Amino acid sequence: MNDQVPADLLEIVETLLPGVAVGPARLAGHGNIHHVVLLPGVAAVRISRRPAAAEALPRRMELLRVIASAGLPFAVPEPLTPVAMFGDRAAVAVSWIDGAGLPEGQGDPAKIGELLGALRELPLTPELRAALAAPSEGGRCWADVLAQDVIPRLPGKWRDEGRRRLDRALVLEPVADSLVHADLGGENVHWTEDGKLAGVLDWDLAMPFDPAIDAACMAWHGWQNVRGAVDRETYRRARVWDAVFGVEHLVAVLNGRPLTNADSYVAHIVAWLERDADRPLA
């Protein structure tokens, strides 16, 4: 048995990838939606943790297939196996992407700009739009979710400020939709040792939306690097979007998914607001 990967997960990996040595296998963090077992240089195996994740996995793999074939100038994980069921768990192996994420606050503005530009300029073909479409969840607008389910739960001192931040986002001039990854930064963007962009992982939140969302996500590398990577208007929009409770929280509601635990979501937002109370909005 591998010291890092539980035996039940190793068994799934061995079934999906017969003959592949699992000695080097290790777990990637502790995801809430999937276990991810890494086989360096070979594959990453995603294993659902919950029924909803198992149900969604085939659609997510179709999205990866479409994005990987769209002509982006970097690697995207591609399914290596069909999605297979192991009891109530779904699992699939996807291709390995070399490189590694950069530490927080580090990054080359020119290369960040190239990544954001590649996403922004990729044509949203009918096939890509269809793959990005999430199952209908009742049609509630993200702004309604924030206004009705989130802001009233904020502590009193943050409610008016929360409404002001939401209002600032709502009056942004509309822009054409682009392919938005919605979770850029950290370990989801892999760079080679000599600083080249190797690939982008984890497209589960991808959607057609304002490309300034991805610019805000890239603030992982520091807002000063984002400022050097994009034009002034995109930077302004990115700061407005991020001010709506942190872009990492905002993207959870942008694509129409319902809040399964509003109180927990609000607690994370309050922690972000308190931590970043003195952060300028632009």
What does each C-alpha distance from 193 to 47, 68, 103, 132, 197 come to in angstroms? 29, 23, 13, 32, 10
Which helix (H) or strand (E) segment is 194 a member of? none
- Give the Cα separation of 275 and 109 in Å (integer): 26
- Give the Cα separation of 267 and 264 in Å (integer): 5
Q: Are strands 197-200 and 89-95 parallel, antiparallel or unpaired?
A: unpaired
Query: What local confidence, expressed as pLDDT, does residue 3 receive?
Result: 52
Task: Give the domain ranges of the chain.
Answer: 7-95, 109-275
130-173 pLDDT, tens digit per residue, is: 999 765 445 579 999 999 999 999 999 999 999 999 999 999 99
- For domain 109-275, the question of CATH label 1.10.10.60 is answered with no
Which helix (H) or strand (E) segment is 201 a member of? none
Read off the DSSP letter of residue 281: -
Query: What local confidence, expressed as pLDDT, does residue 133 receive?
Result: 78
Kindly report the CATH number that applies to the domain delimited by 7-95: 3.30.200.20
Biggest CA–CA distance in the chain, Å, is 59
- Give the Cα separation of 129 and 126 in Å (integer): 5
- Give the Cα separation of 175 and 247 in Å (integer): 18
Spacing of C-alpha 262 from chain mean position: 20
The reply to whether domains 7-95 and 109-275 share a CATH topology is no
- Give the Cα separation of 56 and 30 in Å (integer): 19
167-210 pLDDT, tens digit per residue, is: 999 999 999 999 999 999 889 999 999 999 999 999 999 999 99
Give the residue ranges of the chain where pLDDT is below 50: 1-2, 136-137, 281-282
For the whole prediction, is pTM greater than 0.85? yes
Which helix (H) or strand (E) segment is 110 a member of? helix 109-121
Q: Are strands 89-95 and 178-180 parallel, antiparallel or unpaired?
A: unpaired
- Give the Cα separation of 60 and 46 in Å (integer): 11
Please say whether the dihedral angle defined by the alpha carbons of residues 109, 129, 169 and 279, taken in this order, is positive or negative: negative
Closest CA to 124 of 210, 238, 198, 201: 210
